[in-house]
A = this chain, B = another copy of it.
């Protein structure tokens, strides 16, 4: 069984290796975890002994198959709990992360599987991220960034790239959430700002915002 801390490392390595390809650097994990690089090196060695990562000095780490599985089990729990918090406990999508960070470490297969059943086998969490099923398989639909959507083509918001509270609350205030229909009406060459149709209202957003919203065309 993993300690709480090794689980945090595995998850961080998993997420890091999703965005960047190849091996994951010591510093990038240090930043995510909030630890010093020297501590990360120590942990890399430990995880390597347990055959959860492949580690070579100065070359960063990559997850082994077993490491990926362990990470996905944590991601699965995290996203199931987030779904539960939003759907049944009146949590807002910007409030769930911190609590799910704790709940993801609870060890009980029965609990996880029954929670999944209780939620009726959800495929995506409140931020639109896919939830691994019992076999740790997950299907992410092919989504694009709102910024990449052609003019006057309609899409539906299916997720966000930035999960920070600030960004999520910003979207709430503009009434943009999962399922909201979105369309770009006009691109301002001057400052890259965008006029968009979001549901029934039209509004202006920045390029940066458009690069953090995922849509399905």
- Taking Cβ atoms with an 8 Å cutoff, the residues of A that contact B are 85, 88-91, 95, 98-99, 102-103, 105-108, 110-111, 114-115, 117-118
Contacts and interface: CB of A to CB of B under 8 A. Distances in A.
Number of copies: 2
B114 A106 contact: no
Contact of A99 (B85, B102, B106): B106
Contacts of A110: 89, 91, 95, 99
B111 A99 contact: yes
A102 B106 contact: yes
A85 B118 CA distance: 11
A95 B108 CA distance: 11
A108 B84 CA distance: 15
A interface majority secondary structure: helix
Nearest to A113: B89
Contact of A102 (B95, B107, B115): B107
A188 B118 CA distance: 47
Contacts of A85: 111
B90 A114 contact: yes
A89 B115 contact: yes
A64 to B, nearest CB: 27
16 contacts: A85-B111, A89-B110, A89-B111, A89-B114, A89-B115, A89-B118, A90-B114, A91-B114, A95-B110, A98-B108, A99-B108, A99-B110, A99-B111, A102-B108, A103-B103, A103-B106
A72 B173 CA distance: 38
A207 to B, nearest CB: 35
A111 to B, nearest CB: 5
A99 B103 CA distance: 11
Contacts of A108: 98-99, 102
A120 to B, nearest CB: 12
